[in-house]
Amino acid sequence: MAALLAARGLQTSDQWIVERTGIRARHFADDGVNSSDLALHASLAALQAAGRVAQDIDLIIVATSTPDMIFPSTACILQHKLGIAGCAAFDVQAVCSGFVYALAVADAMIKTGSARCALVVGSEVFSRILDFNDRTTCVLFGDGAGAVVLEASNEPGILATDLHADGRHVGILCTPGTVAGGQVLGDPLLKMDGQAVFKLAVQVLDSAARAVLEKAGRSTDDVDWLIPHQANIRIMQSTAKKLKLPLDKLIATLDEHGNTSAASVPLALDVAVRSGRVKRGDTVMLEGVGGGFTWGAVLLDF
Ligand code: ACO
């Protein structure tokens, strides 16, 4: 990455990026590959892992801030690519908290009987909104997708969810441009006040973790695995330390894919499950934090 950016005249180094963030690699989708394409790939893998087929799905929620189009939703495009029709499908836009938000919505819809078998996806092509002349942001993000199948069951499941937002902080992390009159208005590239985001992230990840544990009547001792938003290893380790969780309970995969926004938590969950670390019966805490400012947590028995 550093060599690529040096060729564009940007001063950076792989050492700086790894030391400050823990990120060693990120992946960028080819031109013409959109969030729905990455979402399809992740969805098929999730369906296979769950022993389900697309026809079993009666709800699709895609968390994304980089949709294929302004409308229709990426979820509708994904539904078509999955070869199904008729079930509810919509996007959730909560930036890097998107997957946790989407999972909480799917859980609520299943618990109220509105859905039985939900496909919940986080999918992003953040490379499309990065300013490759801004070294403070472009080295942090990557593209990716992750998905889960969530089904009604008498066994828990999702034990508790906890979601928050504070719109006073819109300006510290945003892609402010929009489209009007057939033209892009404002700046369509990502802007971030890294230090402000860092400080707020450390604070709210701790409060959301404690709130979701309290709602579920559990304590930090019950948590087998912490899977926070994969943005910066220092934020993640600080969250674990504040909760007095040993660092070997922290799932960190950002070294392999960077910050993939709404895709980061399901990507990390996928790696943790397929590598055999997260096992049936383990108690897992998922946490998201990102633009909005948004944050939240989901506590589940896997
Ligand atoms: N390479 C080399 N130097 C750099 C780079 C780079 N890529 N980027 C910044 N620097 C420089 C800065 O210009 C600054 O130089 P100066 O001291 O001469 O002014 C110096 O490094 C230190 O910069 P800081 O911003 O103080 O570095 P910091 O330690 O705060 O790390 C970072 C920056 C990694 C962005 C950190 O603030 C961070 O991770 N913030 C949180 C990001 C996050 O969690 N996002 C999650 C939400 S994402 C979403 O919702 C889409």
C-alpha span between 93 and 67 (Å, rounded)? 9
pLDDT (mean) for 267-284: 97
Instruction: pLDDT band for 196, please (50, 70, 90 cuts).
Output: very high
Measured in Å, residue 202 CA sits from the centre of ligand 1 at 15
Window from 1-10, 93-102, 160-169, 275-284 with minimum mean pLDDT: 1-10
Distances (CA, A) of 22 to 18, 96, 237, 254, 275: 4, 17, 11, 7, 20
Instruction: Give whole-number Cα distances, 28 to 38, 91, 122, 143, 274, in Å.
Output: 11, 22, 16, 5, 23
- Mean pLDDT, range 18-32, rounded to an integer: 96
Q: In angstroms, what is the span from residue 195 Cα to ligand 1's centroid?
A: 7
Interatomic CA distance for residues 95 and 272, integer angstroms: 22
Backbone angles phi, psi at 165, to 5 degrees: -150, 155
Active site annotation includes 133? no
At residue 6, does pLDDT exceed 80? no
- What is the number of the ligand 1 atom nearest to the C-alpha of 290? 50
- Collapsed DSSP state (helix, strand, coil) of residue 163: strand
Q: Is 22 helix (H, G, I), strand (E, B) or coil?
A: coil
**Considering the chain, what is the average pLDDT of its residues?**
96
Distance in Å, CA 136 to ligand 1 centroid: 5
Q: How far away, in angstroms, is 301 Cα from ligand 1 center?
A: 35
Q: Which of 195, 234, 237, 265 to mutate to test the pocket of ligand 1 (most atoms within 8 A of CB)?
A: 195
The reported pLDDT for the residue numbered 125 is: 98
Quick check: 212 and 235 in contact, CB under 8 A? no
Mean pLDDT of 114-121: 98
**What was the pLDDT predicted at 133?**
93
197, 199, 200, 235: which to mutate for ligand 1, most atoms within 8 A of CB?
197
Buried b (16+ CB within 10 A) or exposed e, 206-242: bebbbbbbeebebebeebbbbbbbbbbbebbbbbbeb
pLDDT of residue 119: 98
Length of the chain counted residue by residue: 302
Instruction: Give the up-direction half-sphere exposure of residue 214: CA atoms within 13 A in the CB hemisphere.
Output: 7
- Say whether pLDDT at 9 is over 80: no
Active-site residue (options: 76, 87, 257, 259)? 259
pLDDT for the residue numbered 159: 97
Domains in the chain with CATH codes: 2-151 (3.40.47.10), 158-301 (3.40.47.10)
Nearest CA to ligand 1 atom 32: 194
Q: Which atom of ligand 1 is nearest to the CA of 229?
A: 46
The residue from 87, 117, 138, 229 that is catalytic is 229
Q: What one-character DSSP code corresponds to residue 30?
A: P
- In this prediction, residue 8 has a pLDDT band, given cuts at 50, 70 and 90, of confident
Contact 42, 123 (CB under 8 A): yes
Q: Taking a C-beta distance cutoff of 8 angstroms, is the pair 94, 262 a contact?
A: yes
| Rounded Cα gap, residues 85 and 93, in angstroms | 22
Q: What is the mean pLDDT of residues 108-121?
A: 98
Q: Separation of 94 CA from ligand 1 center, angstroms?
A: 22
pLDDT in tens, 157-195: 999 999 999 999 999 999 999 999 999 999 999 999 999
Q: What is the mean pLDDT of residues 220-241?
A: 97
DSSP 69: S
Q: Tell me the pTM.
A: 0.96
By most ligand atoms within 8 Å of CB, the mutation choice from 11, 16, 198 for ligand 1 is 198
Q: Is the pLDDT of residue 1 over 90?
A: no
Annotated catalytic residue within 96, 138, 232, 257: 96
Look up residue 139 and give its DSSP letter.
T
Please give the backbone phi and psi of residue 254, each rounded to the nearest 5 degrees, phi first. Answer: -65, -20
Across the range 48-55, mean pLDDT stands at: 97
pLDDT (0 to 100) of residue 145 = 98
Contacts of 291 (CB under 8 A, 6+ apart): 65, 95, 96, 170, 173, 174
CA distance 234 to 215: 27
State how far the alpha carbon of 65 is from the alpha carbons of 36, 73, 243, in Å.
12, 11, 29
| pLDDT tens per residue, range 63-93 | 999 999 999 999 999 999 999 999 999 999 9
Instruction: Over range 285-298, report the average pLDDT.
Output: 98
